[in-house]
Amino acid sequence: MIMRKKLAVLLCAAMAVSSLAGCSSGAKEASDTQGESKKEEAKDKAESKEKGSGDVLTLEFFQQKSEEAAQVGYQNIIDKFNEQNPDIKIEMNTVPDAPTVLTSRVASGDIPVIFTDFPTQLQFHQKVANGYVQDLSEQDFLENVEQSALDMTKQEDGKYYALPFSRNYMGVWYNMEIFEENNLEVPETWEEFVSVCNALEEKGVTPLGLHGKDPGRVGHTFQCCTVAFDPEGVETIEKAVAGEGKIEGDEGFKKAAEKMLTLLDHSNEDALALSDMQCYENFANGQYAMCITGSYARGTIMIANPDLKLGVFPLPNDTRETTNTLSGIDAAVCISAKASEEEKAGAYKFLEFLAQPENAQLFCDAEGAPSCITGVVHKDEGVQPMLELISDGQVHDWMASTIDNNVVTDLYNVTQGFWSEKNVDNYLKQMDESIAITSAE
């Protein structure tokens, strides 16, 4: 109920801002644009008539990935689908802060016919429980999904409400040429990783690029470090949320925080002021030897420098055996349960198209994340160390799969503050304080 009230306030505020913007226009502007308004009105009527004829069914595809490469990958598939299905038109919609926008739209009853979501997370379970997401269990296209990926998306009722499309992971992306020029090997332990950083600094190379301007991206690094450095870290947070423990005084989290400070010591000095996109561009152009980010960034990095020899390895713990990587279902495509039968039929056809290996390959080639569709081949040899760890099962899902997203999001802000203050004891204490407040809401 509290979440619904918050959403209502956000929606009202957005409407208020829109109203104020409209009221700011003067009478002269209204007069100048009167002719254009009539033209637009006529155009809208013509489009409405076309939709009403039933000849072309236009379906919104609301997808949540902001990276350019992901959008290119989806658009490549959409263009192919629209060409082969002239009676259906898929229109991709990508907006800033997509998770918040989607939550608001669901709460207001304006659910996109087709949308991407995160089926392992608690917020998705709630959408399913509330009857907002269409059951896909009987759809044949799910047979094209790798079983391990499909198993991750099974809901409490044993059914499937999403088409798993790609996996994600957090790792250390590295410039293979810089490593080769300095005779460096991919590190498999924390000690080896620190040695690589020291060797690069001795050569005058900034070892690591970090981006801390956006607390959300800081949060991804925080999750990556927690899973890599403290195998029980996520479970420790779960206990704190349940009132069964604390972060302060926990040795695992203390070591993880100390290692995070080491990462900052070997990174660019402007980390807290740097956006993710600027960091990716700097890394792609050789300003840093390494960059900690997700598989979602690979395509964007390669767009910045198509000639870059790019590799990735897991952020290592003390030994390879104790190293886990953060990995989950990155893109999963869903259908609104509130859509009309005609809309659902068109949406099923699009999801069936997405699940064909030759079409899923288009997305994998553009975006770079491992596909959930059987038969898709990841052509980049540089990602093999990460894929091997995932194949070995040394993975942990994202925190929001077991912890309320409000708790997780606020910990992102706390971690961003830690990057600035760099006080471990205070950081752990603030984490407890944050959890106490957000878990009580």
Q: Is the pLDDT of residue 427 over 70?
A: yes
pLDDT, average across residues 254-281: 97
- Report pLDDT for 5: 36
Domain 167-325+394-437 has CATH 3.20.20.140: no
Q: What is the pLDDT of residues 303-347, one digit of tens each?
A: 999 999 999 999 999 998 899 999 999 889 999 999 999 999 999
Domain 55-166+328-382 has CATH 3.40.190.10: yes
Q: What is the pLDDT of residues 96-155, one digit of tens each?
A: 999 999 999 999 999 999 999 999 999 999 999 999 999 999 999 999 999 888 999 999
Q: Is the pLDDT of residue 22 over 90?
A: no
Instruction: Name the segment(s) of the chain with CATH classification 3.40.190.10.
Output: 55-166+328-382, 167-325+394-437
Helix (H) or strand (E) holding 23: helix 2-23
The amino acid occupying position 324 is: N
Q: What is the pLDDT of residues 351-364, one digit of tens each?
A: 999 999 999 999 99
Helix (H) or strand (E) holding 390: helix 384-391
Q: What is the DSSP-derived secondary structure letter of residue 145?
A: B
- Report pLDDT for 54: 56
Measured CA to CA in angstroms, residue 112 lies from 2, 44, 159, 394 at distances of: 23, 20, 21, 35
Q: Which residue has the higher pLDDT, 38 or 185?
A: 185
Q: How far is CA 341 from the centre of its chain?
A: 30
Measured CA to CA in angstroms, residue 89 lies from 28, 59, 134 at distances of: 38, 6, 20
Tokens of 247: 């972060």
Of 59-73, 176-190, 370-384, give the lowest mean pLDDT range. 370-384
Q: What is the pLDDT of residues 153-182, one digit of tens each?
A: 999 999 999 999 998 899 999 999 999 999
Asked whether 54 and 346 are in contact (CB, 8 A), the reply is no
- Report pLDDT for 28: 34
Band (48; pLDDT cuts 50, 70, 90): very low
- Report pLDDT for 216: 93
- Report pLDDT for 72: 93
Collapsing DSSP to helix, strand or coil, 171 comes out as strand
Helix (H) or strand (E) holding 58: strand 57-62
pTM beyond 0.85: the answer is no
Write down the mean pLDDT value for the chain.
88
% helix, strand, coil for the chain, step of 5:
55, 15, 30
- Report pLDDT for 296: 84
Report the candidate in 365, 286, 296 with the shortest Cα–Cα distance to residue 329.
296
Of 4-18, 206-220, 325-339, 427-441, give the lowest mean pLDDT range. 4-18
| CA gap 356, 373 in Å, rounded | 8
Q: Is the pLDDT of residue 35 over 60?
A: no
Band (55; pLDDT cuts 50, 70, 90): confident
Band (251; pLDDT cuts 50, 70, 90): very high
Report the candidate in 156, 217, 207 with the shortest Cα–Cα distance to residue 182.
207
pLDDT, average across residues 210-234: 95
Cite the DSSP H helix spans in 167-232. Answer: 176-181, 190-202, 215-229
- Report pLDDT for 15: 35
Burial 303-325 (b: 16+ CB within 10 A, else e): bbbeebebbbbbbbbeeeeebbb
- Report pLDDT for 88: 98
- Report pLDDT for 235: 95
| CA gap 413, 118 in Å, rounded | 22
